[in-house]
Homo-oligomer: A and B are copies of this chain.
Amino acid sequence: METTTLGFVDLIRSQLDAVEVAMRAQSGLHHPSLDDAVEQLLASGGKRIRPAAVLLVGELFDARGKELVTLAAAIEMLHTATLVHDDLIDGSVLRRGAPTLNSRWSTGATVLTGDYIFARAAFLASRTGSLPVMEAFARTLMTIVNGEISQLSHGPLLPDRAEYLRRIYAKTASLFELASEGGAMLSTQDAERVQTLKAFGYSLGIAFQMVDDVLDFVGDPRDVGKPVGSDLRHGLVTLPAIYFANENPGVREDLAEACAGRLEGPRLEAAIAAIAASDAVRSCMEEARTFIAEARDALSSFPSGPAKSALLDLAAYVVERSV
């Protein structure tokens, strides 16, 4: 796997390597080809931002126990499992430039492989040796799945900002929250500090998803790995579209059609191009930066040092990245 060159990982490089090992330990799927497919999924696996958050929160408390590595692996596995089932449900054929499991395997094999990765994630979570962490893990799993279920039946109603925030909390921020809260739970007995780190993870996760949703409109498709406007093409109305519709009420009808999966052809392309070129994109980035400022504020009570600097770098990366 490619060595990452992001600054905030320098402090935790050896622990991140241990996370890779933990994700693969006892993988023991009784099906060599699916085992290979899972390995490929893990190897192509993104930037490990969630594990980095767990480990850097640990560093903040000078904690470097193997429980932190185990939690980081559990969270990344949970993230991976949700991707497997999401790709199946959305019928996606590519993920990070590689063929998805569902594009190569039956529905049954894909469902079960996702289930197995969930099971491995739960097993790793149980190995943190912390019941509060385990409980938070299970709660987060419920939040994520429930969020996906509530999106199944949203129909042709345009979400508003509040609804959008609820969705991206369930989809993304809940797991960032678990990463920082869980990392803190394993590192300190100070309940107030745990809450502070939980708030840090929440703001970081919300900003992360907002930037993702902006990049879907204005990122380089070669970096992002999917066509421009991919969300809207799949009926998903995100913050740039919501802000654009607020300023341009005439587009609401088209976006409602998009929500219902009925907007196609030139009208769809026109809507995507208009949103991408609009001020809505700038407003969304501003809002993401506001959440990052809140994340930074959450760290203000911690003394300066390499761990805090790395977490601030991580927060800066979330809004500065191009992919």
Cα–Cα distance between A310 and B146 once the two chains are bound (Å): 39
Residue A231 at the B interface, CB < 8 A?
Answer: no
Give the contacts of A54-71 with B (CB-CB under 8 A). Answer: none
Residue A108 at the B interface, CB < 8 A?
Answer: yes
Q: Do A149 and B116 contact each other (CB < 8 Å), given the known contacts A134-B131, A138-B126?
A: yes
Residue A118 at the B interface, CB < 8 A?
Answer: yes
Residue A298 at the B interface, CB < 8 A?
Answer: no
User: Given B85, B123, B127, B147, which contacts A142 in the complex, CB threshold below 8 Å?
Assistant: B123
Residue A10 at the B interface, CB < 8 A?
Answer: no
In the complex, how many angstroms separate the beta carbon of A120 from the nearest chain B beta carbon? 6
Residues of B within 8 A of A116 (CB): 142, 145-146, 149
Cα–Cα distance between A33 and B113 once the two chains are bound (Å): 27
Q: Do A30 and B149 contact each other (CB < 8 Å), given the known contacts A111-B88, A131-B131?
A: yes
Residues of B within 8 A of A34 (CB): 149
Cα–Cα distance between A139 and B123 once the two chains are bound (Å): 6
Q: Do A119 and B134 contact each other (CB < 8 Å), given the known contacts A108-B89, A112-B149, A149-B29?
A: no
Q: Do A29 and B146 contact each other (CB < 8 Å), given the known contacts A123-B139, A139-B123?
A: yes
Binding site for B on A (CB under 8 A): 28-31, 33-34, 85, 88-89, 106-109, 111-116, 118-120, 122-123, 125-127, 129, 131, 134-135, 137-139, 141-142, 145-150, 152-153
3 A-B pairs with the lowest CB-CB distances in the bound complex, closest first: A30-B150, A89-B108, A123-B138
